[in-house]
Structure 1
Amino acid sequence: MSWTRRLLAVAAASAMVVAAAPLAASPGWASHDWWADPDNATQYVSSVSLTSNGGSAVWNGRFELDRSDVNTAVGNGDINVYDGYYGDTGWAGQADCINVTALADCDVFEVKFNQTYMDNYTLQEWMKVGCHEFGHTGGLDHRTTSTDGDLNSCMRTGTANLSLDLDQHDLDVINDDV
């Protein structure tokens, strides 16, 4: 889906919110596993009282995660999303595991969008951050120039890379852990 069509779909979805070939690599190639994988293949997402842009970021993050073996649904329990003014923290988006299971998987993730920075972001930048933070909830770590030379993964840090997608390598890494 082109980002233009996706923006149109997000715009329609946001109205309801209230309060490049892929890398042909196996998960072992330059793996970028994060320390915490989701504890199950269905992740319930709670995102109430978000801004319109926050809702769009969640929509894109869920859309991308749903392309993997992890499925998202609206509900309470697995991924709690907030946007707010968190101050001069150095981060625009953040994902943390706030409840680790005995097997070292994550039972509950918390995703935050920092409006201190993101108020000046375009809708496309919000959607990139949503993809990136939801990628963390799928168990992905950051990508670098050596692991994403063609800038086609939203797991690259910074706003210079505006990819809204998880690339095939990202999806392979998630699927390897689910």
Structure 2
Amino acid sequence: MTDTSKVKPPLRSHSIRVLMTVVAAVFALLAASAAPAQASHSGDFAGGPPDNATHYVENINLTGYASQATTHGIVQIDRSVMNATYADGPEIDVHVHDAYYGRSGSWAGMAGYANCQEDEWWWDGDCNVYRVRYNLSYAASYSWARWQSLGCHELGHTTGLAHRSAANDTDNNSCMRSTVLASRPRFDSHDIDAINALF
């Protein structure tokens, strides 16, 4: 009878276990080195954090309130360690558009949308160039105060902020709530701290 407790496993089986251990270690290392997840918010914004603390924003023929709301969003970003300003040329970080995108499909209930342009992701998950779109199918009828909230909200996404919820915005004063209301036109202190923590 053979004593199986002293029999070494085949080399192939051992090599597979070693390879699996190495792969797991690499994934753990990548997860540990990733940028902070959506600036401590709920994590439901897929655009990722910006690649640096400077935002050059391009106003692409925006209508009146859309242009003013974008300026308001820039002012909110400038309250943090980030620096945002209007610019044009090849170094744009945020392209801002407005149009009547409709009320159906992916635009159902959406007054605005911010995302990282698909070909502008860095290898580490940071976003190089964002696109912000205001949907005039809803927003054209908004008051100026509600436009301020919309501009703050969509430009906020370009800083890496995700949506806030009632549970983590108990004083109900952040423009990063998923519902855009005139009563929430600014970043609150939690939003500012979350942006600052990224840099």
TM-score over 0.5 for the pair: yes
Give yes or no for contact 1:78–1:109 (8 Å, CA) kept in 2: yes
Residue 64 of structure 1 corresponds to 76
* Residue 31, structure 1, aligned to residue 46, structure 2: no
Q: Provide TM-score, normalisation by structure 1.
A: 0.80
Residue 131 of structure 1 corresponds to 152
1-structure distance, mates of 2:83, 2:177: 22
Residue 97 of structure 2 corresponds to 82
CA deviations over 1:112-161 (Å, ceiling 9, x no partner): 00000011110111110000011100100000010001111000121446
Residue 24 of structure 1 corresponds to none
Structure 1: state its 5+ residue gaps.
Answer: 1-26
Residue 113 of structure 2 corresponds to 94
Structure 2: state its 5+ residue gaps.
Answer: 1-35
Residue 16 of structure 2 corresponds to none
The structure with more helix, counted as a fraction of residues: 2
With over 3 angstroms needed to count, the CA separation of the structure-2 counterparts of 1:95 and 1:55, relative to structure 1, is same
The structure having more radius of gyration, on CA atoms, is: 2
Moved segments of 4+, more than 3 Å: none
Residue 4 of structure 1 corresponds to none
> Once structures 1 and 2 are overlaid, which stretch shifts more, 30-39 or 118-127?
30-39
Residue pairs, 1:147-166, within 5 angstroms:
147-160=168-181, 162-166=183-187
Q: Provide TM-score, normalisation by structure 2.
A: 0.72
Residue pairs, 1:2-17, within 5 angstroms:
none
The structure with more strand, counted as a fraction of residues: 1
Residue of structure 1 aligned with 2:190, choices 169, 175, 178: 169
CA-based RMSD:
1.8
Count how many residue pairs are aligned between Structure 1 and Structure 2. Answer: 151
Aligned to 2:190, the other structure's residue is in SS state: helix
Tell me the CA shift for residue 103 of structure 1: 1.5
Give yes or no for contact 2:145–2:182 (8 Å, CA) kept in 1: no
2-structure distance, mates of 1:120, 1:160: 13
